[in-house]
Amino acid sequence: MNNHADGGATNPRHSTAHVEAAGWGQGLSTLPRITWMNLRHPWQVAFAIGSTFLAATLQLLIPPMLGRAVDLIRTGGGISAGATDQALWSSGLLLLAVSALRGLFTLAQNYFAESVAHHFAYHLRLACYEKIQRLSFSFHDQAHSADLITVCMLDLEGVCWFFSAALIRSVLLAMLIGIGAYSLLSINVALGVVALSFVPFVGWRSSRAQLKLRATWLELQGRLSVLSRVMEENLCGIRVVRAFSAQAYEMLKFERASKSALALAQERVDISARNTSAVSFSFFLAMGLVLWIGGTKVIAGEISVGNLATFLTFMTLLQMPVRQIGLMVNAFARASTCGSRLFAFLDLDVTIKDAPQASPLKINEGIVRFDNVSFAYPGARNHQILRNISFEARRGETLAIVGPPGSGKSTMAHLIPRFYDVSAGAITLDGQDIRNVTLSSLRRAVVVVQQDAFLFTTTVENNIAYGDPWANQPRIERASVSAELHNYILSLPAGYKTVVGERGVSLSGGQRQRLTIARATMLRPPVIVFDDSTAAIDAATERRIRSAMRRFAKDRVTIIIAHRLSSVMHADQILFVENGEIVERGTHEELLARGGRYQALHDLQARPGEVDGAN
């Protein structure tokens, strides 16, 4: 789970639980929404439904055609043997043609129904990914990536197949049962009732089983989410696992999660198997009764052998669609459940967004001002991280923020580009409240170099130019020179074209931090914030970077957050923050002369042995 880097954590809730709680009220109301979204692909939908109607109609023609052929064989139809042979040949060829056409339209039905599903899934994936890009930091602080992947992949999968697995199947089944039942009952009511007797039982049994499968599916999805989380954490921390020889413990943890998911999956298999057995038994029981009752009626002359063949053929054709009632019910249930969670996620309010009348930020003088700013993280409003913070930083100046861990330093850095909104007070850039300017213009003007140096699995060049993919090579190289990284890059096998591994694991911690510094400086923003971004860099390299940054800082506001005082001694103004308040401010020399908290921290870092001895 992601915690705040500084200033205390919120009271996080499990992200999928939050989304699910928001979505349960929707229930079946999500199905019309899913249906309407599928209708955005009208010609595929039209072809799928049209093919379904034609396939069902042709399938309904087969039983009476076969019945007439049987009667023709048995009675001869009062015509000569040659004419009978010709009639049989015609009936056989017609039956073959109808069956072939029925197969062709069934193929078209499946093709276009799946086409709708794939197009729908494409648009949903884009919507989910776009939503993730816009969601505020406060959401990601509480969310676990494995849970989001579960919602945006498994739940999306359950929703996108609703059209083909539920709607189209409903149309097909309604036609087969409705028109077929009318045809059979018009021949003989009693025999028709017997022939159709297995249909309601199968519908009831399948629905009952699928309700159980729906409940277990929700629980299984939760257990699979836990399994994904265990695997993700293991992959991200694989070096720690190996360093502490914790492979056996990790295997045990993963095995427990796997066994939990396996037990529930096995329960689902058991439910499904028992349902299939009951459905098959009911079908063959109904067919046996039709043979027995229908045979007596044939002997009594109430119906013909062809009529009996019609009944049996219709039952055989109806067997598979009726068996799919369970799948259809499951598709409805799964779409309802998955849709509730998916749409609850897509409908989440984005807390940090452009104001209705937001205008682009205009930088003239380059003045950053905190005006009596207070802040508490969402979900922890009673625990203020910052209290009445006020300061000003101008173009060409370097402002440093120091203090003990948890004092609110990184929180201040995250408020300037508006990763969060202040709880009270205001932050302005050249007199413009950052809440009244567009986010895109604000974040082009303010770049934060994070302590966590995240790199993408691509080339060094692309990682540096991430903020401006069209930057030319000289500009990229100048940025890497200022970050003291250029010579190291040239020593790599492919230079700037060298591919960096996942999360930059092929680079040291200091090299990753220098690369993120180069990524930020290449953009040359009016305001740049270094959030303890040189913690993993050795002192000599840091001095060279600081020297390069002095030249870079002449035309912009530079804010440095650090625990190591050697990183901020050159700053024009230093703020010492403690418990969310500025308790001291001044230059390095002024603060040392004051003999307060800054001077105590300086002595602790400069002469740790002496301080320990004094204590």
CATH number at 40 reads 1.20.1560.10
pLDDT digits (tens, 9 = 90+) for 466-483: 888 888 999 999 888 888
User: From CA 353, how far away is CA 134, in angstroms rounded?
Assistant: 8
- Rg of the chain (C-alpha set): 36
pLDDT value at 12 more than 50: no
Helical spans, DSSP H, in 1-41: 15-23, 30-38
Domain assignment of residue 398, given as a range? 367-614
Whether residue 427 sits in one domain with residue 285: no
Q: 514 burial class (0-12, 13-18, 19+ CB within 10 angstroms)?
A: buried
Query: If pLDDT is split at 50, 70 and 90, which confidence band does 53 have?
Result: very high
User: From CA 445, how far away is CA 529, in angstroms rounded?
Assistant: 11
Whether residue 212 sits in one domain with residue 276: yes
Number of structural domains found in the chain: 2
Q: Can you name the residues that pair with 558 across neighbouring β-strands?
A: 398, 528
Domain with 506 in it: what CATH number? Answer: 3.40.50.300
pLDDT value at 9 more than 50: no
Confidence (pLDDT) at 612? 45
pLDDT digits (tens, 9 = 90+) for 538-547: 677 777 777 7
Query: For residue 431, is it within any domain?
Result: yes
103-110 average pLDDT score: 93
Whether residue 330 sits in one domain with residue 239: yes
User: From CA 253, how far away is CA 256, in angstroms rounded?
Assistant: 5
User: From CA 63, how far away is CA 69, in angstroms rounded?
Assistant: 10
Q: Residue written as tokens 């700013």?
A: 373
Whether residue 373 sits in one domain with residue 329: no
In our burial notation (b when 16+ CB lie closer than 10 A, e otherwise), range 21-57 reads ebbeebeeebbeebeebbeebeebbebbbebbebbbb
Whether residue 384 sits in one domain with residue 305: no
Whether residue 440 sits in one domain with residue 574: yes
CB distance 242 to 235 below 8 Å: no
Whether residue 326 sits in one domain with residue 416: no
CB distance 382 to 376 below 8 Å: yes
Whether residue 401 sits in one domain with residue 286: no
Query: For residue 16, is it within any domain?
Result: no
Across the chain, mean pLDDT equals 83
User: From CA 55, how far away is CA 143, in angstroms rounded?
Assistant: 47
Query: If pLDDT is split at 50, 70 and 90, which confidence band does 613 have?
Result: very low
Confidence (pLDDT) at 245? 81
Strand ranges (DSSP E) for 362-514? 367-375, 386-394, 398-402, 424-429, 432-433, 446-449
Whether residue 385 sits in one domain with residue 520: yes
Angle between helices 168-187 and 42-75 (to 10 degrees): 30
User: From CA 608, how far away is CA 588, in angstroms rounded?
Assistant: 19
pLDDT digits (tens, 9 = 90+) for 503-514: 555 677 778 888
User: From CA 224, how far away is CA 257, in angstroms rounded?
Assistant: 8
pLDDT digits (tens, 9 = 90+) for 451-465: 777 888 888 899 999
558-570 average pLDDT score: 85
Q: Encode 146-166 in three state secondary structure.
A: HHHHHHHHHHHHHHHCHHHHH
Please give the share of the chain, as a percent, with pLDDT higher than 70.
89
Confidence (pLDDT) at 505? 52
Query: For residue 4, is it within any domain?
Result: no
Q: Is the pTM of this model over 0.85?
A: no
Confidence (pLDDT) at 389? 93
Whether residue 129 sits in one domain with residue 216: yes
Query: For residue 158, is it within any domain?
Result: yes
Query: For residue 394, is it within any domain?
Result: yes
Helix, strand counts (H, E) of the chain: 25, 10
CB proximity list for 48: less than 8 A, separation 6 or greater: 108, 109, 112, 113, 115, 116, 163, 164, 168
Tell me if residue 386 falls in helix, strand or coil: strand
Whether residue 376 sits in one domain with residue 323: no
Residue 245: which region, alpha, beta or left (left: phi > 0; alpha: psi -120 to 50)? Answer: left
Whether residue 391 sits in one domain with residue 273: no
CB distance 465 to 473 below 8 Å: no
Q: Taking the C-alpha atoms of 267, 269, 270 and 273 in order, what is their torsion angle to the nearest 10 degrees?
A: 160
Query: For residue 173, is it within any domain?
Result: yes
Query: For residue 124, is it within any domain?
Result: yes
CB proximity list for 23: less than 8 A, separation 6 or greater: 30, 339, 340, 341, 342, 343, 344, 345
User: From CA 21, how far away is CA 6, in angstroms rounded?
Assistant: 29
In our burial notation (b when 16+ CB lie closer than 10 A, e otherwise), range 379-409 reads eeeeebbbbebebebebebbbbbbbeebbbb
Q: What is the DSSP letter of 167?
A: I
Confidence (pLDDT) at 433? 93
Query: If pLDDT is split at 50, 70 and 90, which confidence band does 439 have?
Result: very high
For 306, the token pair is 């062809």
pLDDT value at 22 more than 70: no
pLDDT digits (tens, 9 = 90+) for 232-274: 788 878 878 788 888 888 888 888 888 888 888 888 888 888 8
Query: For residue 9, is it within any domain?
Result: no
